[in-house]
Amino acid sequence: MSIRVKRLHPLIGAEVTGVNLSEPIKQDTLASLKAAWEEYGVISFPGQLITDEQQVVFSRNFGDLEIFPQADNRSAQIPEIFRITNVAADDQIRPINTSSALYSTLIWVWHTDSSYRPVPSKGAVLNAIEVVKNGGDTLFANMYAAYEQMPSALKNRITGLKARHSFLYSRTLRKLPPLEQPVADTLPPVDHPLVRHHPDGRKSLYVSATYMEQIIGLSKRESQQLIHELMTWATQDRFVYRHRWQPHDVLMWDNRWTIHVVTPFNHGVERRVMHRTTITGSEPVRG
């Protein structure tokens, strides 16, 4: 069986068929998948009925896997599975005013995964187990294009600047109580450049509103204004692919040059269950 790759958007995203992710992937197929992942930034595999164990095996073809810091978002059986869902472990929808329900709405803010780590994630694999009918789409934006097409005046303003990214900051966006100290101690803030230099010489914008607390060297107000300006620039429709989920879609994306967000949905009513594996990065964000 050979794979077929269909472009979904001029700048980002492709659909891949002709591969069964529940089975071991042959070396030549894996090479084609890696090439498609690199070229399109986001690849979708429709109609894949995979277990958590199979997702972990498939994801390991692309690198080691991260463990999400908060225990209540991890699968109890397989710690590499990060449960992105409004459904609790008892299979009931979480009441919307609870901390865990509010936490689950942080995916409604644009981000690249794990930008709070000194070496952020390389990419992620997401298995759509239950999807919603209204909202709940995932939007992906191409940060090479956002940087390359940026007006020179804005490019000049951000050259050499770094932003502080913090897991603890993300919780303040939903006014959540601080994490327990032993977990918080493992997540100190980190500074990353706003312009990421890739090993092949290309540059992309590196922004992650969920975690980006402050641009270093600017006042709080200037920093908030610049973050807002950059996010508005980076998420224009022309840079964005919208994925409308079907059950059993599996998507994988590159966290080094794409950002994503989920469109809001009625999270007290409709069930949305997605399982993510997160591929560990291999290099720090170079400026």
CA–CA dist 67, 120 (Å, integer)? 12
Nearest to 151 by CA among 233, 241, 240: 233
Quick one: tokens of 128? Answer: 């759509």
Q: Which residue is nearest to ligand SIN (CB)?
A: 138
What φ, ψ does residue 182 adopt, rounded to 5°? -60, -35
Contacts of ligand SIN in 18-77 (CB under 6 A): none
Quick check: 257 and 41 in contact, CB under 8 A?
yes
Give the x/- contact pattern for ligand SIN in 134-173, rule: CB under 6 A. Answer: ----x-----------------------------------
Q: Which is nearer to ligand SIN, 150 or 240 (CB)?
A: 240
Residue 260 as a binder of ligand SIN (CB under 6 A): the answer is yes
Question: CB 115 → ligand SIN: shortest distance, Å?
Answer: 12
Residue type, 40: Y
Query: If binding is defined by CB under 6 A, does position 113 make contact with ligand SIN?
Result: yes
Smallest separation, CB 272 to ligand SIN (Å): 7
Is 279 a residue that touches ligand SIN (CB under 6 A)? Answer: no
Token pair, residue 274, equals 């997605």
Task: Say how many residues make up the chain.
Answer: 287
Q: CB-based contacts of 86: which residues, under 8 Å, 6+ apart?
A: 93, 94, 101, 104, 267, 268, 270, 271, 272
Residue 29 or 258 with smaller CB distance to ligand SIN: 258
Q: Pick from 209, 227, 252, 274: which binds ligand SIN (CB under 6 A)?
A: 274
**Contact between 107 and ligand SIN per CB under 6 A:** yes
Q: With contacts defined by CB under 6 A, how many residues of the chain interact with ligand SIN?
A: 10
Q: How far is the CB of 189 from ligand SIN (least distance, A)?
A: 20
Short-list 31, 34, 51, CA closest to 43: 34
Nearest distance from residue 201's CB to ligand SIN, in Å? 28
Residue 198 CB-density burial (10 A; 0-12 exposed, 13-18 middle, 19+ buried): middle
Q: Which of 42, 171, 276, 279 binds ligand SIN (CB under 6 A)?
A: 276
- What part of residues 119-138 is at the interface with ligand SIN (CB under 6 A)? 124, 126, 138
Whether 283 contacts 151, CB under 8 Å? no
Task: Show the CA angle centred on residue 259, arms to residues 258 and 265, nearest 5°.
Answer: 140
Closest C-alpha among 3, 25, 22, 2 to residue 14: 3
Least gap, CB of 106 to ligand SIN (angstroms): 8
Taking the complex as a whole, how short is the minimal distance between the CB of residue 217 and ligand SIN, in angstroms? 29
**Residue 252, interface with ligand SIN (CB under 6 A)?**
no
Q: By CB under 6 A, what part of segment 76-95 binds ligand SIN?
A: 84
Chain positions contacting ligand SIN, by CB under 6 A: 84, 107, 113, 124, 126, 138, 260, 262, 274, 276
